[in-house]
């Protein structure tokens, strides 16, 4: 079975996708600096996979290091090659993802996201590995002019984080010009939420969360006093902003579908929205949470957050046509699984890290 390098494989999307790929039979090399994740997450992936220790030792290897370190990357490619089992493809999650932080520290974001990816691509070129699935983001559409958003919509990111993602998409496009053997999938995620249904892995924000689902989780366990709803004057039916939330397991399966597509078609660069095509308002999400966790969640409507848009909903039809992939899970499952993860791991992976 093919061998994959998963950069950032210990993170939120990386762990769920690694699990799906392991279950599909792939051998994995996970590379992570653990700057925003925990080795416990990988232990949990192993546990859910049900593989025994011999199989795990053979099929799942972990390297701790930074994607900006070319020698480190080259060493991984060389070691696999020498073992007679070279890396066939890369799923590239590693990077920094906070919009706020990117505004405060743009140089760090350009360095990690852009230079990190450039270094990774250099190592891939040198080692004749030319298949990559890249984590792009719906953020690159900025304030979209029409809804649902198609892949052909204008790219106009409004923050440094989104600009790094757009720049990386450009670099990937340039690569196909110098070598037509590149197989590239740029996956533009909408809003990934929820957790694996076992509640063993999930989103583990370090520090104060900014995203809606982790914030609601913390309000529901009284860690945060109140949910601040950013804006009650948006042009939507209930006046709160609407997003296209996608269950993390649907997103993980989207990566498997993209990889299968790349491996079974002639080399190309394909760009796809990964979303459900359905939008929910902040108030609709709060209402679903209240039903699932059976309590009233305190909220107050405050001013709009800078840089937010009224509505972001994907047109996911290209992913269905090209990959045969579409989301299967409902908002209720997103909330239920996200809440289950929160209840079982009120401090994320921290408690097990301390053992």
Among 229, 257, 274, 335, binds ligand UDP (CB under 6 A): 229
Count of residues near ligand NAD by CB under 6 A: 26
d(CA 254, CA 126): 28
Shortest CB 119 distance to ligand NAD, Å: 9
Site for ligand NAD in 67-86 (CB under 6 A): 67-68
Part in contact with ligand UDP (CB under 6 A); list of ranges 145-153, 205-213, 255-263, 266-274:
205-213
Phi and psi (nearest 5°) for 322? -80, -40
**Is 289 part of the annotated catalytic residue set?**
no
Using CB atoms within 10 Å of the CB of residue 105, give its burial: 0 to 12 exposed, 13 to 18 middle, 19+ buried. middle
Count of residues near ligand UDP by CB under 6 A: 15
Q: Give the relative orientation of helices 116-126 and 160-178 as an angle to the nearest 10 degrees.
A: 20
Q: Is 278 in the site for ligand UDP (CB under 6 A)?
A: no
Q: Is 97 in the site for ligand NAD (CB under 6 A)?
A: yes
In order of 15, 284, 348, the CA distances from 353 in angstroms are: 17, 35, 10
Beta-carbon count within 10 A of 283 CB: 19
Part in contact with ligand UDP (CB under 6 A); list of ranges 105-113, 169-177, 223-231, 272-280:
223-231
> Beta partners for 31?
7, 63
Contact 286, 243 (CB under 8 A): no
> Beta partners for 5?
29, 90
Q: Is 172 in the site for ligand NAD (CB under 6 A)?
A: no
Shortest CB 234 distance to ligand UDP, Å: 8
Phi-psi group of 119: left, alpha or beta (phi > 0 → left; psi -120 to 50 → alpha; rest → beta): alpha
Among 94, 124, 140, 219, binds ligand NAD (CB under 6 A): 94
Among 34, 63, 110, 230, binds ligand UDP (CB under 6 A): 230
Instruction: From the list ligand NAD, ligand UDP, none, pick the one residue 19 interacts with, judged by a Cβ distance below 5 to 8 Å according to partner type.
Output: none
Q: Is 140 in the site for ligand UDP (CB under 6 A)?
A: no
Q: Is 215 in the site for ligand UDP (CB under 6 A)?
A: yes
Among 26, 161, 189, 245, the active-site one is 161
Contact 144, 312 (CB under 8 A): yes
> Beta partners for 183?
131
Provide the token pair at 103.
């505004």
Shortest CB 308 distance to ligand UDP, Å: 5
Q: Is 12 in the site for ligand NAD (CB under 6 A)?
A: yes
Q: How many residues does the chain have?
A: 355
Judged by the rule CB under 6 A, the positions of this chain that interact with ligand NAD are 8, 10-14, 32-37, 66-68, 93-97, 112, 116, 135, 137, 189, 192
Residue numbers annotated as active site: 161
């Amino acid at each position: 079975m093919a061998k994959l390098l998963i950069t950032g494989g210990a993170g939120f999307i990386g762990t769920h996708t690694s699990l799906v790929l392991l279950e599909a039979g792939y051998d994995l090399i996970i590379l992570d600096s653990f700057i925003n994740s925990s080795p416990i997450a990988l232990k949990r992936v192993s546990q859910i996979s049900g593989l025994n220790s011999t199989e795990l030792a053979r099929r799942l290897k972990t390297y701790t290091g930074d994607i900006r370190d070319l020698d480190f990357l080259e060493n991984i490619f060389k070691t696999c090659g020498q073992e007679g089992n070279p890396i066939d493809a890369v799923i590239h999650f590693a990077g920094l993802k906070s919009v706020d932080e990117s505004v405060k520290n743009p140089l760090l974001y350009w360095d990690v996201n852009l230079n990190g990816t450039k270094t990774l691509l250099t190592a891939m070129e040198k080692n004749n590995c030319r298949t990559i699935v890249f984590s792009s983001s719906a953020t690159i559409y900025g304030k979209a002019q029409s809804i649902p958003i198609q892949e052909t919509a204008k790219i106009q990111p409004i923050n440094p984080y989104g600009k790094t993602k757009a720049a990386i998409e450009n670099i990937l496009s340039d690569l196909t010009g110098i070598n037509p053997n590149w197989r590239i999938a740029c996956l533009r995620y909408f809003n990934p939420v929820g957790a694996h249904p076992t509640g063993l892995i999930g989103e583990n924000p370090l520090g104060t969360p900014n995203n809606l689902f982790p914030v609601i989780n913390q309000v529901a366990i009284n860690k945060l006093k109140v949910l601040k709803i950013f804006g009650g004057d948006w042009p939507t039916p209930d006046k709160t902003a609407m997003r296209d939330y996608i269950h993390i397991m649907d997103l993980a399966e989207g990566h498997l579908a993209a990889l299968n597509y790349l491996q079974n078609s002639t080399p190309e660069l394909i760009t796809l929205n990964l979303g459900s095509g359905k939008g929910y308002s902040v108030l609709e999400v709060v209402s679903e949470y209240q039903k699932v966790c059976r309590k009233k969640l305190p909220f107050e409507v405050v001013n709009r957050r800078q840089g937010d848009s009224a509505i972001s909903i994907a047109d996911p039809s290209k992913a269905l046509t090209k990959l045969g992939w579409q989301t299967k899970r409902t908002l209720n499952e997103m909330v239920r699984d996200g809440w289950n993860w929160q209840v079982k791991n009120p401090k994320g992976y921290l408690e097990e890290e301390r053992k």
